[in-house]
Amino acid sequence: MTRRSSKTFASKSFELACAAPFVIGHRMARMAVAGASPSPRDRAEFALMANEKTTAFASAWQAMGAEVFVASQSLGLSAMRSWTAAACGRPGSIGAASAEWNRALMGVLDKGLAPIHRTAVANAKRLGKPRSRPG
């Protein structure tokens, strides 16, 4: 993972940290106001909330699983290179192996964060817009 992509991960994390409390607060207030008999609009929003969470987290797990598969191949190749270097009498680089592990970990985290970030930020934008009043 490059410095630019880690900044992207950091900025996505920050945006998620700002968007999630807003969305949760908005929806909790909406649930409190709706009470025991939510309107059809409220029921639609609550159903959307459940579907979006399920979809976002399933997408995150799927993306992380795929990235773990890619990372395991990369880490395996890195280990084989180290073993080959050691067999040829060249010293291996612990720093390079550490950097490879760090890149793999950050890649998995970035892939997992992306669908959750995308959903939360889109919801914050959508729920933050003033809605037009009929009539």
pTM, rounded to two decimals:
0.77
Q: Can you tell me the mean pLDDT for 72-95? A: 78
Q: Cα(124)–Cα(108) distance, rounded to whole angstroms? A: 25
Give me the pLDDT at residue 19, please.
96
Q: What is the mean pLDDT of the chain?
A: 87
Give residue 96's pLDDT.
Answer: 72
Per-residue pLDDT tens digits for 96-119: 777 888 889 999 999 999 999 999
Q: What is the pLDDT of residues 27-67, one digit of tens each?
A: 999 999 999 999 999 999 999 999 999 999 999 999 999 99
Domain for residue 52, yes or no? no
Confidence of residue 130 (pLDDT cuts 50, 70, 90): confident
pLDDT surpassing 50 at residue 135: no
The answer to whether residue 85 is domain-embedded is yes
Give the pLDDT confidence score for residue 88 in this predicted structure.
Answer: 79
Q: Spell out the residues 6+ positions from residue 27 whose beta carbon is closer than 8 angstroms to its own.
A: 45, 46, 49, 127
Residue 6, pLDDT above cutoff 90: no
Residue numbers of the domain that contains 98? 3-33+57-125
DSSP string, 58-125: HHHHHHHHHHHHHHHHHHHHHHHHHHHHHHTTPPP-HHHHHHHHHHHHHHHHHHHHHHHHHHHHHHHH
- Domain presence at residue 73: yes
Based on the structure, what is the number of domains in the chain? 1
Mean pLDDT value of segment 71-99: 78
- Residue-level pLDDT at 124: 95
39: helix, strand or coil? coil
pLDDT of res. 78: 81
Q: How far is CA 69 from CA 79, 80, 113, in A?
A: 15, 17, 17
